[in-house]
Amino acid sequence: MFWTFPSSTGTRNTGFGQGSFMLPLIRDATEADLPEMMAIYNEAIRNTLAVYTEEETTLADRKLWFAARTGQGYPVLVAVDRNDGAVLGFATFGDFRPWPGYRHTVEHSVYVRTDARGAGLGAALVAHLLARAAALGKHVMVAGIDAANPASIRLHERLGFERVGTLREVGTKFGRWLDLVFMQRILDPPPGGSSK
Ligand SMILES: CC(C)(COP(=O)(O)OP(=O)(O)OC[C@H]1O[C@@H](n2cnc3c(N)ncnc32)[C@H](O)[C@@H]1OP(=O)(O)O)[C@@H](O)C(=O)NCCC(=O)NCCS
C-alpha cells in the first residue's frame, strides 16, 4: 500500500507505507519533541542554505520559540514514525510581517530529517499547514526559499505555490551572496467567505 496525498499535479505515491514502513503520523508538536526537532534544524543550519545563519540553536532557544509560536495560536507540526515515535520532520508558520495589515498572511518553514527526504513528507507537512492556515482564516501563505534549493521550490510548486519574485543577493552564508525566492499561495476562503 502506498501513502498518497493530493497535489496540484495529481496524486503521488511515496516511499512510506511500503513493506515494513508505515505512514508517518502528522500531529501537533509538544515540548518533548523539541530535542529531535532541534537536531533536524541544526543539521539544516550546518549543511544547507535553508536558514541564513551559521550559528546553531540551543534547546533553551527552541523552548522560547515554541512557547511564542504556540502562544500566538499558530501550529507547530511534526511528522513522526509510527513504529518508534521518532520525529522525521516538522513545519510551522508565523506572521509574515508584524504590521496589522498583514494579519491574513503567514510565512512558513518546513524541515525533514536527511534520511526521510524525497518521499513526500515535506509536501505532506506543508499540505497540513495549508489546511491549518485556512482554518485560522488566513488568506495567503508565503515561502521564502533560497534560489539554490530546488527540492523546496519543486515541493511548493506541486502544492500550487506560485513563484512571485527573487530578491537578489539579500542574504549571505558560507562566504557568498544568496538570492531569495518568494513563493505564495492564496488559500481557499472558509465557508461563508473570508474577512478582510
Ligand atoms: C526541502 C525539504 C523540506 C523537502 O522535503 P522532502 O520530504 O524531501 O520533500 P518532498 O519529497 O515532499 O518533495 C521534494 C520534491 O523535490 C524534488 N527534488 C529533490 N531534490 C531535487 C533536486 N536536487 N532538484 C530538483 N528537484 C528535487 C523531489 O523529487 C520532489 O519532487 P516530486 O514530488 O516531483 O518527486 C527537505 O529537503 C529539507 O528538509 N531540506 C533542508 C531544509 C530546507 O531546505 N527546508 C526548506 C526551507 S524553504
**Residue 191 near residue 180, CB atoms below 8 Å:** no
Residue 36 sits at φ, ψ, to 5 deg, of: -70, -40
Quick one: pLDDT at residue 132?
97
Residue having the nearest C-alpha atom to atom 16 of ligand 1:
151
The finding on whether 183 has its CB within 6 A of some atom of ligand 1 is no
Quick one: pLDDT at residue 168?
98
Q: Which position has the grid cell 501550529? A: 75
Q: Check which CATH number belongs to the domain holding 73 and give it.
A: 3.40.630.30
Residues 6+ apart with CB under 8 A from 185: 130, 140, 141, 156, 159, 160, 161, 162
pLDDT in tens, 116-156: 999 999 999 999 999 999 999 999 999 999 999 999 999 99
Residue 192 domain flag: no
pLDDT in tens, 89-98: 999 999 999 9
Question: Model-level pTM?
Answer: 0.92
Residue 153 domain flag: no
The finding on whether 119 has its CB within 6 A of some atom of ligand 1 is yes
Residue 9 domain flag: no
The finding on whether 9 has its CB within 6 A of some atom of ligand 1 is no
Q: For residue 79, is pLDDT > 50?
A: yes
Quick one: pLDDT at residue 16?
60
For residue 122, how far is its CA from the centre of ligand 1 (angstroms)? 7
Higher pLDDT residue, 191 or 96? 96
The whole domain housing 110 covers 19-140
For residue 193, how far is its CA from the centre of ligand 1 (angstroms)? 33
Distance CA 131, CA 87 (A): 21
Residue 150 domain flag: no
For residue 129, how far is its CA from the centre of ligand 1 (angstroms)? 16
The finding on whether 44 has its CB within 6 A of some atom of ligand 1 is yes
For residue 13, how far is its CA from the centre of ligand 1 (angstroms)? 15
Higher pLDDT residue, 15 or 27? 27
What the block records as the C-alpha cell of 10 is 495529481
The finding on whether 112 has its CB within 6 A of some atom of ligand 1 is yes
Chain centroid to CA 175: how far?
Answer: 26
Beta strand 140-146 with 105-112: parallel, antiparallel or unpaired? parallel
Residue 33 domain flag: yes
Residue 66 domain flag: yes
Residue 93 domain flag: yes
Residue 186 sits at φ, ψ, to 5 deg, of: -80, 130
Quick one: pLDDT at residue 195?
74
Residue 172 domain flag: no
- Structurally, the chain folds into a number of domains equal to 1
The finding on whether 159 has its CB within 6 A of some atom of ligand 1 is no
